[in-house]
Amino acid sequence: MRRSVRGSLVAALLPALLVVAGCTADEAEPESPAPSSSPKPTASPVPLPEKGACYRLSFQDVLAASNAADEVRCREEHTSMTYAVGTLDRVVDGHLLAVDSDRVLDRLAERCPERLTELVGGTLEESRLSMLRPVWFTPTLAQADEGADWFRCDVIAVAGQESLAPLPRRLAGALETEDGRRTWGMCGTDQPDSEDFERVLCSAPHSWRAITVVPFEPGDYPGEDVVRERGQTPCEDAGRGVADDALNFQWGYEWPTREQWASGQTYGRCWAPD
């Protein structure tokens, strides 16, 4: 039996999102001086966030551009951990860009996912099949006016519909073992085209699992017909590969929407009963 399916997660969390190694962070690099016409800081710079700091954030908290939550001890329950801190690339051709400019944020959308893979280990595909995601924060506009120019990359685990899972004290190498990939893997409560489908951690009760990805070349969105058709054969083959009966099996394909593509998800996912 063949099923073609499509679903979506919050697009802001899907630019796979994901995630860095060894709790190492960027060394802060000095920023080029701003043009003389730019206003000078009027107060002491906001202190840099700390690598390894833990926070108890909500799902809505991680969708915000800035975060002022107090740190908690990592041995206490927490849902976010800072794995990289660095200096924003804000000077272009002698002009100082705003912290919320597209160019600054696009650069963070590359750096934080790259660093997360270093932290959790495994392959890029295994990261894309997990619920571990990178999120990033910058100073507020007011803090930037006072001289703050840092960025902060945090790792989170999406637990379900608009909820986060508690994190362990250590996530280094989390996707390097089968147990780790099972714990943090992406699963579903029902077949992905069902109204009852909800994306959950594979450590939670589930009936389907994301088993492989269908990558596309980055660039302009090729159109829904193209991305839908491209995954049919590879997902059918993947479903057959994990089935007990190669002649009677189910499989699903979730292709990227235009919105998800714009957020960085230039790949689809294949699903199978688990």
- What pLDDT sits at residue 42? 46
Query: What is the spatial distance between Cα 154 and Cα 217, in angstroms, rounded to a whole number?
Result: 27
What the block records as the tokens of 264 is 């960085």
What the block records as the tokens of 173 is 């190498």
Amino acid present at 138: T
- What pLDDT sits at residue 173? 96
Nearest to 268 by CA among 212, 194, 196, 217: 212
- What pLDDT sits at residue 45? 58
- What pLDDT sits at residue 97? 81
Residue with token string 């495994």: 122
- What pLDDT sits at residue 46? 65
- What pLDDT sits at residue 2? 33
Sequence-separated (6 or more) residues with CB below 8 Å from residue 217: 266
In SS3 terms, the chain reads as CCCCCCCCCCHHHCCCCCCCCCCCCCCCCCCCCCCCCCCCCCCCCCCCCCCCCEECCCCCHHHCCCCCCCEECCCCCCCEEEEEEEECCCEECCEECCCCCHHHHHHHHHHHHHHHHHHHCCCHHHHHCECEEEEEECCCHHHHHCCCCEEEEEEEEEEECCEECCCCCCCCCCCCCHHHHHHHEEEECCCCCCCCCCEEECCCCCCEEEEEEEECCCCCCCCHHHHHHHCHHHHHHHHHHHCCCCCCCCCEEECCCHHHHHCCCCEEEEEEEC
| pLDDT per residue rounded down to tens, the chain (274 residues) | 333 332 333 443 333 322 222 223 333 343 444 444 444 444 455 678 999 999 999 999 999 999 999 999 999 999 999 999 998 887 777 777 888 888 888 888 888 988 999 999 999 899 999 999 999 999 998 998 888 889 999 999 999 888 999 999 999 999 999 999 999 999 999 998 889 999 999 999 999 999 999 999 989 999 999 999 999 999 999 999 999 999 999 999 999 999 999 888 899 999 999 9
